[in-house]
Structure 1
């Protein structure tokens, strides 16, 4: 069995199509088909079955995929560790984070870190809460910013870095837009612009409205903080967003108003795999982040 066969197998399993896998691998379709066939012959099982124009993993194929991904992830980590051993300041950090942190927080901390370690590379992966947990468990990322912090979890552990306040955002000219603070109950009859299902900010806003005594009337849903902010600024409704998602200086801006009752916050944490040593360069970055946010809390 060759590593090339594992690479080809995993790619076909992800694409469910030999042609698409071959295009992404930059090899001939016949080469991919031949390697998959040889792999199946060596294992003595069928890994794929034809389903229309696509290929579908058999039950044993699904089992083999998990093992193949783990083998390739271990190999990738071994290569990284060797490079770090030769020069710890020239490694690569695989970092995951939710979209809402990509506006200002991630650029800030990465820029600050690279002032100290200019040769370190980053591989970023954005995703929703479930996908970040999944990618961490599968070994596709080394560290991840996540919100809310998961607390007790069998496979990941970490630290809360900060707790961030959420603000009401209102269309310009809204009757409450000039208030210094409001109760969330005052938005009971408004149309809300919320994140789609699966985004961590959605249940935070939903539960806050429930605590305030009402169920939000959802008129629009989006998947980016820019979309939420823009729709509110255009007069399509109201919403709640964390302060760091409001660092935008474009011409179309919503009004930002503090919420007194109930106070709405989110936790932002840093997670890693439980009982697994971080790659050296990721360990350096982890220590940097703990100091960075500790200093921010004491400013």
Structure 2
């Protein structure tokens, strides 16, 4: 079994047509057909069945495709890592982040890093706390910003970067809107615009309200900080948002008020797979972040 056979197999599976696959591969149609036939003979199974003018994967063909694609993914990563070892300044960093950090934190640190290392590329993935941890563990991404930072975890490790304060946000016509500082329990009678269950900020807000002595009445739920901010500004309730989610100016803005009691904060950290060495370019970016946040 040769890599060329597997490459041809993937291309035919994608195109569902030998002619189209051969054109994209820039080889003769007969050569593609011969390689697929030899592969089927070696495996002792049919990988494709004729469906009109197209080829369709058999059930075992679908199973084989999944495995072969994983092989090529690992191979591509191996080639990429070798190139990065030769020159980390030309590598790629795969990094994850939650939405709230994509507004200012991530663009700022990436822009600063690229001033020093302009040849480095970034592959970005946005997600929830659980999905980002899962992607780090599975190897889909090298590093991820997460909040809250997991102090102890079986499969990831990392560094706490900062602790950020959450602010109350209220409509501009709210009775408390002109105040510079309030106690959180002063909002106990208002409906809250809350994050959905998938987001870690929801539990941080709920814990803060409980510490203030009340359970918030949830009026609306949103998926992202921009949604929460917009719904509050539209007068649909009040909420709590991290400071970095309130830096961007939009046409519809809520009032921002510091909370004096209890202090509601979130931790932000950078995580990677435990007991696994980062690629040189990812380690270069991690070291930059440690210096950026004065941790190194």
Normalised to the residue count of structure 1, the TM-score between the two structures is: 0.80
User: Distance between the aligned counterparts of 1:282 and 1:201, measured in 2?
Assistant: 27
Quote the Cα distance in structure 1 between the aligned partners of 2:4 and 2:135.
Answer: 23
1:150 paired residue number: 150
Distance 2:194 2:127 in 1: 17
Q: What does residue 269 of structure 1 align with?
A: 269
**Aligned equivalents of 1:162 and 1:252: distance in 2?**
29
**Partner residue, 1:243:** 243
Alignment partners' CA distance in 2, 1:45 and 1:286:
47
Query: CA contact under 8 A between 1:132 and 1:144: conserved in structure 2?
Result: yes
Partner of 1:107: 107
**84-93 or 227-236, which deviates more:** 84-93
Greater CA drift, 231-240 or 209-218: 209-218
Does structure 1 residue 224 correspond to structure 2 residue 200? no
RMSD: 3.4
Post-superposition CA distance 1:46-68 (Å, at most 9, x none): 99xxxxxxx9989x959x95x66
Structural mapping, 1:135-174, within 5 Å: 135-174=135-174
1:77 corresponds in structure 2 to 77
Between 1:130-139 and 1:100-109, the stretch displaced more is 130-139
Q: Is the 8 Å Cα contact of residues 46 and 58 (structure 2) preserved in structure 1?
A: no
Distance in 2 of aligned mates of 1:210 and 1:283: 40
Structure 2 residue runs of 5 or longer lacking an equivalent are 25-32, 48-56
- Select between 187-196 and 34-43 the one with higher mean Cα deviation: 34-43
| Deviation readout 1:233-281 (Å, 9 max, x if unpaired) | 1111100000000012222110000111111000000001111110001
Match of 1:51 in 2: none
Change (3 A) 1:3 1:239: farther
Partner of 2:30: none
Q: Which residue of 1 aligns with 2:256?
A: 256
Query: Which 5+ residue runs of structure 1 have no aligned equivalent?
Result: 12-17, 48-54
In the TM superposition, 1:82-97 aligns within 5 A as 82-97=82-97
Q: Using the alignment, how far apart are the partners of 1:255 and 1:73 within structure 2? A: 48
Residues 1:120 and 1:192: Cα distance change in structure 2 (over 3 Å): same
Shift of 1:76: 2.9
With over 3 angstroms needed to count, the CA separation of the structure-2 counterparts of 1:69 and 1:183, relative to structure 1, is farther
Partners of 2:36 and 2:202 in 1: CA distance: 43
Q: 1:191 to 1:114 in 2, by over 3 A?
A: same
Q: Distance in 2 between matches of 1:160 and 1:3?
A: 43
Determine the C-alpha separation between the residues in 1 that align with 2:291 and 2:126.
24
Q: Aligned partners of 1:10 and 1:181: how far apart in 2? A: 61
Secondary structure in 2 matching 1:130: helix
TM value normalised by structure 2: 0.80
Partners of 2:166 and 2:265 within 8 A in 1? yes
Q: Is the 8 A contact 1:98 1:145 kept in 2?
A: yes
Deviation at 1:96, TM superposition (A): 0.6
| Aligned partner of residue 294 in structure 1, secondary structure | coil
Q: Deviations over 1:58-88 (max 9, x none)?
A: 9x959x95x6676444323212222213322
Q: 1:219 to 1:38 in 2, by over 3 A?
A: farther
Bigger drift between 250-259 and 102-111 goes to 250-259
Relative to structure 1, the CA distance from residue 286 to residue 38 in structure 2 (aligned partners, 3 Å threshold; closer, same or farther) is farther
